[in-house]
Structure 1
Amino acid sequence: MKLNFRRLIPNWIRSLFNRWINPVYQLIQKKIRQHIRLQLMITFVICFIAAFIVGGISDSVFGKFNRTAYINYSVGRDSIDRDARFLVHKINQDYPNNLGIEEIMKLTPRQLKILIVDLDGKVKYKSEKATETQVDLHGIIRNAMDTRINEGYYENSRREFISFYPIELENMKGYLIVSGAPEGTIMYRQDAWLFPIITGVATFIFLFLFLTRRKMKYIEELAEGLLVISKGNLDYRVVKKSEDELGSLADSVNQMAEELHAKIEHERKMEKVKNELITNVSHDLRTPLTSILGYLKLLMDKKYENPEQMENYFQIVYGKSEKLKVLIEDLFEYTKLTDQEVALRKQKVCLNELLEQLTEELVPPGEENHVSFWKEIPTERIYLWADPDKLARVLENLLTNAIKYSEKPGEIKIRAVEEENSVLLSVHNQGDPIPEEELPRLFDRFYRVDKSRTSERGGSGLGLAIAKSIVELHGGKIWAESEEGETRFLIRFKRDE
Structure 2
Amino acid sequence: MINRKKDKGEKPKKEKLRVRLKNKFSNSFIGRNLKELTIRIKFLIQRLDRKIKQSVQFELVIAIIVCFLIAGAIYMVTNNLFRNIVYTSVIKYDYDSLSNNAESMARYIEENRTVDVNGEKRTIDINDNKYFQDVFNMYKHEGDLVFITDLEGNVLRKTPNVSNEKVDIFSVLKGISENKYEEEFSVEHNGRYDISTNQSKPKEFTALYPISLGKEQYYLVYKAIPTGRIENLEKTVENSFLAMVLAFLAFIILFLIVTKNKMKYIHEISEGLKVIAEGELDYVIAERGEDEISRISKNINIMAREVNKQIEAQKLAEKTKSDLITNVSHDLRTPLTSVMGYIGLVKDGRYDSEEKMKEYLDIAFNKSEQLKALIEDLFEYTKINNSDMTLEKSEVNLVDFISQISEEMKPFFEENDIEQILTLSDEKIILSLDVSKMVRAIENLLTNAVKYSYKPGAVIIGVYKKDNFVTISVKNRGDNIPEEKLQKLFDRFYRLDESRNTNSGGTGLGLAITKNIIERHNGKIWAECYGNDISFYVRFRM
TM-score tier, shorter chain, comes to: 0.5 to 0.7
- Distance in 2, matches of 1:480 and 1:409, equals 22
- Distance in 2, matches of 1:426 and 1:98, equals 139
Q: Secondary structure at the match of 2:540?
A: strand
Structure 1 window deviating more from structure 2 (52-61 vs 281-290): it is 52-61
Structure 1 window deviating more from structure 2 (402-411 vs 270-279): it is 402-411
1:478 aligns with one of 526, 534, 541: 526
C-alpha deviation, 1:427, in angstroms: 2.3
Residue pairs, 1:124-143, within 5 angstroms: none
Residue pairs, 1:184-199, within 5 angstroms: 194-199=241-246
Look up the match of 1:268: 315
The amino acid of 1:326's aligned partner reads: E
Look up the match of 1:123: none
1:322 aligns with one of 366, 372, 381: 372
- Distance in 2, matches of 1:313 and 1:219, equals 73
TM superposition score normalised by structure 2: 0.58
- Identity fraction in percent: 32
Question: Is contact 1:292-1:320 (8 Å) kept?
Answer: no
Distance 1:440 1:228, change over 3 A: closer
Q: Does 1:35 align with 2:35?
A: no
Look up the match of 1:435: 480
Residue pairs, 1:443-458, within 5 angstroms: 443-450=490-497, 454-456=501-503, 458=505
- Distance in 1, matches of 2:230 and 2:340, equals 130
Residue pairs, 1:32-431, within 5 angstroms: 32-64=52-84, 194-294=241-341, 315=365, 319=369, 321-333=371-383, 336=385, 341=387, 345=391, 349-352=395-398, 353-359=400-406, 361-362=408-409, 374-384=421-431, 388=435, 390-405=437-452, 412-429=459-476
C-alpha deviation, 1:214, in angstroms: 1.8
Look up the match of 1:467: 514
Q: Secondary structure at the match of 1:350?
A: strand
C-alpha deviation, 1:207, in angstroms: 1.3
The amino acid of 2:47's aligned partner reads: L
Q: Whose radius of gyration is greater, 1 or 2?
A: 2
Distance 1:53 1:324, change over 3 A: closer
Q: Secondary structure at the match of 2:276?
A: helix
Q: Secondary structure at the match of 1:427?
A: strand
Distance 1:446 1:205, change over 3 A: same
Count of residue pairs brought into register by the alignment = 422
- Distance in 1, matches of 2:461 and 2:265, equals 62
Look up the match of 1:25: 45
- Distance in 1, matches of 2:501 and 2:403, equals 31
C-alpha deviation, 1:284, in angstroms: 0.7
Q: Secondary structure at the match of 1:477?
A: strand
- Distance in 1, matches of 2:66 and 2:498, equals 78
Distance 1:458 1:68, change over 3 A: farther
C-alpha deviation, 1:491, in angstroms: 2.1
Question: Is contact 2:461-2:473 (8 Å) kept?
Answer: yes
- Distance in 1, matches of 2:473 and 2:505, equals 21
C-alpha deviation, 1:417, in angstroms: 0.6
The amino acid of 1:239's aligned partner reads: A
Structure 1 window deviating more from structure 2 (361-370 vs 275-284): it is 361-370
Q: Secondary structure at the match of 1:242?
A: coil
C-alpha deviation, 1:482, in angstroms: 6.5
Look up the match of 1:112: none
5+ long unaligned stretches in structure 2? 1-14, 115-134, 140-166, 172-177, 179-202, 204-228
5+ long unaligned stretches in structure 1? 1-6, 108-130, 136-143, 145-159, 161-182
- Distance in 2, matches of 1:70 and 1:191, equals 20
The amino acid of 1:325's aligned partner reads: I
Question: Is contact 1:349-1:388 (8 Å) kept?
Answer: no
Q: Secondary structure at the match of 1:194?
A: helix
Structure 1 window deviating more from structure 2 (382-391 vs 457-466): it is 382-391
The amino acid of 2:335's aligned partner reads: P
- Distance in 2, matches of 1:290 and 1:382, equals 48
- Distance in 2, matches of 1:366 and 1:342, equals 36
The amino acid of 2:524's aligned partner reads: G
Question: Is contact 2:469-2:540 (8 Å) kept?
Answer: yes
- Distance in 2, matches of 1:240 and 1:21, equals 31
- Distance in 2, matches of 1:453 and 1:226, equals 46
The amino acid of 1:350's aligned partner reads: V
Distance 1:259 1:70, change over 3 A: farther
- Distance in 2, matches of 1:285 and 1:70, equals 120
The CA RMSD over aligned residues, in Å, is 5.9
The amino acid of 1:424's aligned partner reads: T
C-alpha deviation, 1:99, in angstroms: 11
The amino acid of 2:396's aligned partner reads: C
Question: Is contact 1:424-1:490 (8 Å) kept?
Answer: yes
Question: Is contact 1:440-1:480 (8 Å) kept?
Answer: no
Question: Is contact 1:326-1:460 (8 Å) kept?
Answer: no
Question: Is contact 1:478-1:492 (8 Å) kept?
Answer: no
Question: Is contact 2:463-2:470 (8 Å) kept?
Answer: yes
C-alpha deviation, 1:357, in angstroms: 4.8
C-alpha deviation, 1:348, in angstroms: 6.6
Distance 1:217 1:321, change over 3 A: closer
Question: Is contact 1:47-1:207 (8 Å) kept?
Answer: yes
